[in-house]
Amino acid sequence: MPIPSSAARTDFDAYLEALGRKDLLRFITCGSVDDGKSTLIGRLLYESKMIYEDQLAALALDSKRVGTRGGELDFALLVDGLAAEREQGITIDVAYRFFSTERRKFIVADTPGHEQYTRNMVTGASTAELAVILVDARKGILTQTRRHSYVAALLGIRRAVLAVNKMDLVGYDPAVFAAIERDYRAFAARIGLGEVVAIPLSAVDGDNLVDRAASMPWYRGPTLLRHLEDVEIGGDDRAAPFRMPVQWVNRPHQDFRGFAGQIASGTVRAGDAVRVLPSGRDSRVARIVTGDGDRDEAIAGESVTLTLAHEVDVSRGDVLVACGAPLEVANQFEATVVWMHEEPLLQGRQYLLKIGARTVSATVAPVKYKVNVNTLDEVPAERLELNDIGVCELGFDQPVPFAPYAENRTLGAFILIDRLTSNTVGAGLLHFALRRSQNIHWQALDVDRRVRAAQKRQRGCVLWLTGLSGAGKSTIANLVDKRLVALGRHTYLLDGDNVRHGLNKDLGFTAQDRVENIRRVAEVARLMADAGLITLVSFISPFRSERRMARDLMPPGDFFEVYVDAPLAVAESRDPKGLYRKARRGELANFTGIDSPYEQPEAPEIVIDTTALSPAEAAERIVAHLEQAGVLAASPADRTP
């Protein structure tokens, strides 16, 4: 490889320096499928001279092999990198591309048009400042046009370009363009997209992308590229109060302890007074450390490490804020959720929620409504299906510092994660803390769990029996209860049927009702165990997620999952209540094992094979396990008067 000359290196350094001085616009292209998003971006890359010769040669070959232009250059192939996209001529994943002009740098996200990939569009829009909404001039405004526009507005994008594409296919008719623009502006006004610039285009021919099109002399506005270069971007985040989520505690040796993160807003200087949230501890900034050495000042968007003057406890997920302008801290919120998974969002089910660098457990209750993206009507709903957008109330298991998303994207955005699979299933935006969360506090009690357990000479715990209907859960639980009482132990048995006569009599047997059924019982079981009781729970409890939720309510080692294992054929042959027969005849819907799933435990503490053990033998095995686990630590007869 030849060594570049000093002059060449100087020119390259000058180029990099000039590039660094340009501001950056992040934008997305979105709209319905086959509206020409990838073609538009590919053409922009081509016209802005951002395609190398080898890329152009490869594009020519690909265009002949898999292109949709009859052998002519198919600019969409510059963006559609997945094989499935090229085969179908559509965009599936989010494709990010960088290009620049003399005046500005750009990062564009090409987002998919199909409804099932709305989650990908959310990803692309989350960091964008402007949306290019493409519309096929032949089709006009479609449902997906409205959906993507609504999501863009929801995610804080306030500037949009209505790119009416494929004008060549409607004879460059200005009346077609005017009608589409009129319809879209009416919709945009309703969703808060206040700054809309409409541009007629033919992406495949490059009309009105970089240069004005002779085919549309009636259009007097800017070309797309000129508008992207001129549009005002960004806000003055530096003028907002200082906020920095802590992403990493930097401790390379015992003499240095710093807190690293990207400044979400404001300016910080050495000596500034700061507060750590949610703990509320105050300190001041001792040093601002960067890769280029210490700084006197750092601003929004910069990633730095701060050291503090005092030894205060700071962890990943905490937020450093200006003392004079602290954030709210709360654990109950109203939020908008975009649901991204085939399995629906269910009220009462727990999910992991990641906000900034902090992960908490969150419960959705209730879903207030979902939005009809065509009419913008608020439709009553109890669950959210794939691609639904709804407003919910969320309860966290711990307080978090936050800002409404409308004020700060970093501190108001979150994702929901399935606890079992670790899949991201939803994304959301916090609106405000619920007032009741500010009025409810934990009351300190002198008589606690430890004292109550010592009084009873046993350890309060939950013994959770799960299995199919007819497996023998209630019979075994009853025998265990009798055996423990005979030993002088303090117990209580929560049975599925009995609880549905009172506490849960308002619940049916849908998946959502089953989730709420278990949530309520788990909370009651927790309170009983806190009172020092050995609490037996006998419920089908078919879903792993809810059994995991019940386990997480208890201290480690105080929850025992008992899988009462009976094959479906065996359970059905017993059928003491005749429920299987009704389900087989179609008289009983959502019956576990027939038309509703049962998810077997993955790692239960105890497995009872009811084809090998009698109920009495099963009960003895469970009691023996409790003894080995130290639950029955001492005999009540040994109690000191």
DSSP 633: -
Determine the pLDDT at residue 54. Answer: 58
Give, in words, the CATH class of 449-637: alpha beta
Determine the pLDDT at residue 14. Answer: 61
Cis before 604 (ω within 30): no
Determine the pLDDT at residue 636. Answer: 44
| Strand residues in 440-504 grouped as ranges (E) | 461-466, 491-495
Q: Do domains 240-322 and 449-637 have the same CATH topology?
A: no
The whole-angstrom separation of Cα 208 and Cα 344 is 43
The whole-angstrom separation of Cα 225 and Cα 48 is 9
Determine the pLDDT at residue 500. Answer: 86
User: Residue 1: pLDDT band by 50, 70, 90 thresholds?
Assistant: very low
Contacts of residue 554, Cβ cutoff 8 Å, sequence gap at least 6 = 461, 462, 526, 529
Cis before 366 (ω within 30): yes
Reading the block at residue 634, the tokens are 């001492």
The SS3 assignment for 276 reads strand
16-230 maps to which CATH number?
3.40.50.300
Contacts of residue 43, Cβ cutoff 8 Å, sequence gap at least 6 = 75, 203, 204, 206, 209
Determine the pLDDT at residue 512. Answer: 81
Sketch the domain layout of the chain as residue ranges: 16-230, 240-322, 330-439, 449-637
Per-residue pLDDT tens for 479-517? 999 999 999 999 999 998 888 888 888 888 887 888 888
Tell me which H or E stretch contains 404.
none
Q: Which residue has the higher pLDDT, 121 or 559?
A: 559
Domain 240-322, CATH among 3.20.20.70, 2.40.30.10, 3.50.50.60, 3.20.20.370: 2.40.30.10
Is it the case that residue 211 has pLDDT exceeding 90?
A: no
Burial status of residue 542 (CB atoms within 10 A of its CB: 0-12, 13-18, 19 or more): buried
Is it the case that residue 625 has pLDDT exceeding 80?
A: yes
Q: Which residue has the higher pLDDT, 100 or 640?
A: 100
Please identify every residue annotated as catalytic: 541
The whole-angstrom separation of Cα 494 and Cα 497 is 9
Per-residue pLDDT tens for 313-361? 999 999 999 998 888 899 999 999 999 888 899 888 889 999 988 999 9
| Strand residues in 527-620 grouped as ranges (E) | 534-538, 559-565, 606-609
Is it the case that residue 276 has pLDDT exceeding 70?
A: yes
Average pLDDT, integer, range 533-545:
92
Determine the pLDDT at residue 233. Answer: 77
User: Residue 88: pLDDT band by 50, 70, 90 thresholds?
Assistant: very low
Is it the case that residue 4 has pLDDT exceeding 90?
A: no
Alpha helices for 22-126 (secondary structure H): 37-47, 53-66, 83-88, 118-125
User: Residue 640: pLDDT band by 50, 70, 90 thresholds?
Assistant: very low
Per-residue pLDDT tens for 213-262? 999 999 999 999 999 999 987 666 777 899 999 999 998 888 899 999 99
> Cα Rg for the chain, rounded, in angstroms?
31
Determine the pLDDT at residue 596. Answer: 84
Domain 330-439, CATH among 2.40.160.10, 3.90.1150.10, 3.40.50.2300, 2.40.30.10: 2.40.30.10
Is it the case that residue 82 has pLDDT exceeding 70?
A: no
The percentage of residues in the chain with a pLDDT greater than 70, rounded to a whole number, is: 85
Per-residue pLDDT tens for 570-621? 888 887 778 888 888 888 887 888 888 899 998 999 999 999 999 999 999 9
Determine the pLDDT at residue 19. Answer: 58
The answer to whether the CB of 319 falls within 8 A of the CB of 356 is yes
The SS3 assignment for 238 reads helix
User: Residue 87: pLDDT band by 50, 70, 90 thresholds?
Assistant: very low
Of the listed ranges 1-5, 45-49, 422-426, 436-440, the one predicted with least confidence: 1-5
The whole-angstrom separation of Cα 92 and Cα 75 is 16
Region of residue 432 (phi > 0: left; psi between -120 and 50: alpha; otherwise: beta): beta
Task: Read off the pTM.
Answer: 0.75
Alpha helices for 487-541 (secondary structure H): 496-499, 511-530
Cis before 636 (ω within 30): no
The whole-angstrom separation of Cα 245 and Cα 357 is 7
Give the residue from 150, 152, 105 showing the smallest Cα distance to 126.
152
